[in-house]
């Protein structure tokens, strides 16, 4: 049987090289391309920078390929990001004179990086939409409702007993056996999904909370 050493030193590297070669050939066939990039941190707070390329092939099909998500330990200054992006593009054989534009968020350092490299930059529509919705929801009434929903979801997320009781209540009330969803602060759609799920399960949630004096106050009114 193949050993762990074989998979880590032979099989997986060969699979990576084969996949990378296919992607490089596809990307090289594009006359022009656009890119998107973002900086983010892993759950262990390690910094990374991603690069995705978009282009139209010979059959006029839009292609999108995430080329890399690379460890980026340098300070996130505009100059360092500009240098890192240039290195990333060069590593994939992408020529700057074929770059139509780069889509990013509105962070000052990424804006400076595009300016340093002399690249056309487009603002991310999804990011701007998120900011617009966040500004529109700065209302104390909405804040109270969101705070209650998050406390409600947390009370079920950290209690196996409540999860079990919720499943029983869903069966008794003939409701979909769905778990509650939590909110991601940087994704406005996750807030909407959290509210939808709470409203869908409102009767089951109320039934579970009514039997516990400590969490009864979380019942929706």
Domain boundaries of the chain, sorted by first residue: 4-123, 131-218
DSSP state of 60: S
* 67 vs 70: CA distance, rounded Å: 9
Confidence at residue 1, expressed as pLDDT on a 0 to 100 scale: 87
Give ∠ CA 74-113-120 in degrees, rounded to 5.
150
Backbone dihedral region of 187: left (phi > 0), alpha (psi from -120 to 50 degrees) or beta? beta
pLDDT in tens, 58-82: 899 999 999 999 999 999 999 999 9
Give me the CATH code for the 4-123 domain, please. Answer: 3.30.420.40
pLDDT in tens, 108-166: 999 999 999 999 999 999 889 988 998 998 999 998 989 999 999 998 988 899 999 99
pTM assigned to the model: 0.72
pLDDT band at 51 (very low <50, low <70, confident <90, very high): very high
One-character DSSP codes across 143-168: HHHHHHHHHHHHHHHT-HHHHHHHHH
């Amino acid at each position: 049987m193949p050993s762990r050493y074989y998979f880590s030193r032979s099989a997986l590297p060969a699979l990576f090289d084969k996949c990378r070669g296919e992607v490089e050939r596809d990307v090289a066939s594009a006359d022009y391309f656009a890119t998107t990039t973002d900086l983010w941190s892993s759950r262990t707070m390690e910094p990374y920078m991603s690069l995705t390329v978009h282009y139209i092939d010979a059959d006029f099909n839009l292609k999108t390929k995430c080329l890399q998500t690379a460890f980026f330990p340098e300070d996130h200054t505009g100059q360092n990001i500009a240098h890192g992006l240039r290195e990333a593009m060069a590593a994939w054989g992408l020529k700057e004179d074929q770059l139509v534009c780069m889509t990013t968020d509105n962070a000052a350092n990424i804006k400076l990086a595009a300016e340093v490299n002399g690249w056309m930059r487009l603002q991310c529509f999804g990011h701007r939409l998120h900011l617009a919705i966040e500004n529109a929801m700065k209302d104390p009434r909405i804040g109270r409702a969101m705070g209650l929903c998050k406390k409600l979801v947390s009370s079920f997320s950290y209690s196996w007993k409540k999860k079990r009781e919720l499943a029983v209540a869903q069966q008794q009330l003939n409701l979909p056996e769905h778990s509650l969803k939590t909110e991601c602060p940087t994704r406005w759609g996750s807030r909407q999904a959290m509210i939808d799920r709470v409203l869908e399960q409102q009767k089951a949630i109320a039934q579970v909370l009514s039997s516990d004096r400590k969490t009864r106050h979380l019942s929706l009114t």
